[in-house]
Structure formats: structure tokens, C-alpha cells
Amino acid sequence: MTEPAIEHVTTVVVGAGHAGLAASHFLSARSIDHVVLERGEIANSWRHERWDSLRLLTPNRQSRLPGRPYDGPDPDGYMTAGETAEFVERFAKTAAAPVRTGVNVTSVRRTAAGDGYDVTTSDGPIRCRALVIASGACNRPVVPAFADALPPSVEQRTSFDYRAPGDLPDGGVLVVGASATGVQLASELHRSGRPVTLAVGEHVRLPRTYRGRDVLWWMEASGVWDQRYDEMDDLSRARRLPSPQLVGTPDRATLDLNALTSAGVELVGRWAALRDGEALFSGGLRNVASLADLKMERLLGTFDEWGEAAGHDAAFPPERFEPTAVPATARLRLDLRSGAIRTVVWATGYRPDYDWLHVPVVDAKGRLVHEGGVVASPGLYALGLPVLRRRKSTFIHGIEDDAREVIAHLAAHLTGRDD
């Protein structure tokens, strides 16, 4: 059988989400020939890997991509997943990005000569001098190893395969994880009439609005989001932080643990182990909540200092919020064989999928080894990962600065000026 001809292109971009398309924008601006390979559709994860009610955490005014600011009628609203997919697709069309959809990348290896990469795809082989990994940080849900030992009577879902409350069996739900995903799903499931227990680990507490503005406006205006990766004392920890407890609703409501307990959601500590069909929870709930409260207060203090220096509207004075109300006797165990819990929803985070990347640049924990998106292999780059170059890296509006700088490094590499 004749081997398929190898296509040659200067740069391959893997992934046609907002990060891959931003890379394409700056590659085109530098007249670097390239192709963007997407396993599904443009903005595939927004179309097929989100629950029905999801909205962006960021207000619409912060939904912008290179050369494409938000120009809609509701700058203070929050896009749905479908609206986000449409926004990203319009950007792809405006930028005339050379996207090939329905193309699965199955292998990336260094060329035998070491001067580029051999990319094996479902559409044939490609050889390139540089490659940008923009396939996202949320390809696979993370669940603990003991999940396999749950009683068979308990149905399990992750945020990847959860769509709406009506898809779950009647009865109680244990939501595991209290980041943005966990609190949103706990709230939605409780409103559906189900008893909900929320297992709470480390989390980031924020009010939805602060001093008359969306709290994420403050993150941007004060410069917190622009803090660079090489300025951080503990970069590894910053990259592991969970997403803040926020939800994008028309009334701009705050959704923190106090809001959930007031509604009737039961709080327990971090799910630490499973023994003989019983979920065992950590007794550190109070400490975890107190630490989140303390960090929120410090961040709000940073906003106040910036606001005073910038002359922010004094009609909206500094605010402070009630500490998290932790139950005096949070339960430490829950019998999953009793029938009280019919479903466990894992909101315990995600990880990237690099099974196709056959280059020694992934550490023992499955994390890509890179320095601000410059991967530890010549000509290999990444975009769209947490705190890649700035705190705002994973947000839609945060990709422009990252992509501009990463593609500048890529262009220098192609001309031999990247040492």
C-alpha cells in the first residue's frame, strides 16, 4: 500500500477554540502559513461539553478577542455556552482562520532530523516546523480513584456528562467540589426540588458585585489579572487554584456557601475516603471556609487601595461581607447504601489530555512543562492554560496578550533568533 503523501506547513495549531483562533490571528498577521486542526467543530467544547444553563463567569464587556471587542446590546450580561460558541465562530470567520474541522490529531513526534514535528491526523500526515498546543486545559474530568467503588445504586456524573436536573434520577444528590461548577450545579439541583449535599474543599470566594461594579471589572481595572507568571511567588499553586464561586445571572446574584446554606443545601467537608459504602468527609470545613474568607478580604482590600489611588466613585464605599456560616456539627460520614443519595456529581476539576503528544514535555502529574507557553522542546508552544503568562490567561479576553507574545517567540524561532 502506498504511504499517504506528507503535507508540509510551517505551523500547526491544535484546537479551534478561542486560544487556537487567537494564535491563528497573530500567525496570519506575521504571514506565517499555518493550519488549525479541530477534532470537532469550532468552539467544540462550548457546543458539546457544557451543561444547559451554563453562562460565562465574565460579563459580556470582557468577552473580546483580538480585533473583535464585544459590540452587543448587553455589556453587563453573561453569555450562554451557545452564545459563546457563536461569538468564537464569528471571530474565526472574520479572521479567515484556516480551520479544518473533524480532524483528529493522534500523534505528534519530533522529526528524525529534530527540525520540527511529524503530526499524524485522521486526515493524513503533516510535517511542520512549529506547533501550538491550544487544545485546552479541560479535556478530561478529574475524579478520585475510589469513585469506582461507589455502590452500584448510586449514579455518577461529571460536569462533562451532566446537562440538566431532569436527566438525573429522583432523590438526593451529593455534589463534590465547591468551585464555580460545584456551587452552580448544587444551586440548580436544589432548585429542582432535590435534597443536595455539597462536599467543600479549597475554594475561592468572591461577591458577584463590589462597590457598584462586577467584581471581575475590579480584577481587570486594578491590574490583578495582569500579574505575570514570572512575578509570582508560587506559580505552581496559582495554576492550581479553583475557579471563583461565581455565577452569571441577570440579577447578578452572589452564589457563595452562605447563599447555598440559606437556600437549604447541606455543607460537609472535603470527601476524603470511601469505606464500606460510606463517604468519609474531612473535619476541616471551618478552616477551609475561614481561609477563603480571609483571602477574599485581602483581595477586596487590594481593590480599595487601587480605587482610592484611582479616584474611584466615592458614592460606592468599601464593602465587607459576613463570614461563611459553617454548620456547628457538619456530618463526617454519609451512608451511600441507604438510598438517601441517588446521584454523585463530580465537580472536582479537569485535566488536559496529552495522550497524543509523544514528546518528553509532560511531567509525572500529566502537566505540560513550559515557561510562559514556550514548551521545553524547540518550536513547541502552548496557549489557553491556567496562568500561562498572566492570571487572566484562561479567560476569553486574556488570550490576546498571551497569543501575541507566544507567536512572537514562535516567529523568532522560525528565523533562528529564539535563543
Can you spell out the DSSP letters for 19-30? Answer: HHHHHHHHHHHT
| Cβ-count burial 320-344 (b if 16+ within 10 Å, e if not) | ebeebebeeebeeebebeeeebbbb
Report how far apart, in Å, the C-alpha atoms of 167 and of each of 11, 52, 347 are: 42, 11, 17
Residue 340 three-state SS: coil
- Residue 158's pLDDT is what? 95
Contacts of 182 (CB under 8 A, 6+ apart): 175, 176, 198, 203, 347
Domain locations in the chain as residue ranges: 7-139+352-414, 142-346
Query: Checking DSSP bridges between strand 7-14 and strand 34-38, what pairing results, if any?
Result: parallel
Query: What is the assigned CATH class of domain 7-139+352-414?
Result: alpha beta
Number of Cβ within a 10 Å radius of residue 304: 18
Positive or negative, the CA dihedral 366, 289, 162, 14 is negative
Residue 142 three-state SS: coil
- Residue 339's pLDDT is what? 95
- Point out which residues pair with 174 in neighbouring strands: 197, 344
- On the 0-12 / 13-18 / 19+ scale of CB atoms within 10 A, 354 is middle
Domains 7-139+352-414 and 142-346 share a fold: yes
Cα-to-chain-centroid distance, residue 135: 12
Positive or negative, the CA dihedral 240, 244, 247, 248 is negative
CA distance 302 to 33: 44
CA distance 372 to 402: 8
Find the length of the chain.
419
Question: Taking phi first (over 0 means left), then psi (-120 to 50 degrees means alpha), and beta for anything else, what does residue 136 get?
Answer: left
Residue 352 three-state SS: coil
Positive or negative, the CA dihedral 9, 11, 12, 17 is negative
Q: Does domain 142-346 sit in CATH 3.40.50.970?
A: no
- Residue 136's pLDDT is what? 86
Quote the Cα angle for 178-181-186, to 5°.
70
CB 285 within 8 A of CB 326: yes
Residue 209 three-state SS: strand
- Residue 103's pLDDT is what? 97
| DSSP 8-state code for residue 4 | P
| DSSP 8-state code for residue 368 | B
Read off the pTM: 0.94
CA distance 238 to 234: 6
pLDDT along the chain (419 residues), means of 10: 85 97 98 97 92 95 93 93 95 96 97 96 97 89 94 95 95 97 98 98 97 95 96 93 94 97 97 96 96 97 93 81 93 96 95 94 93 97 97 95 98 84
Quote the Cα angle for 177-183-184, to 5°.
125
CB 343 within 8 A of CB 169: yes
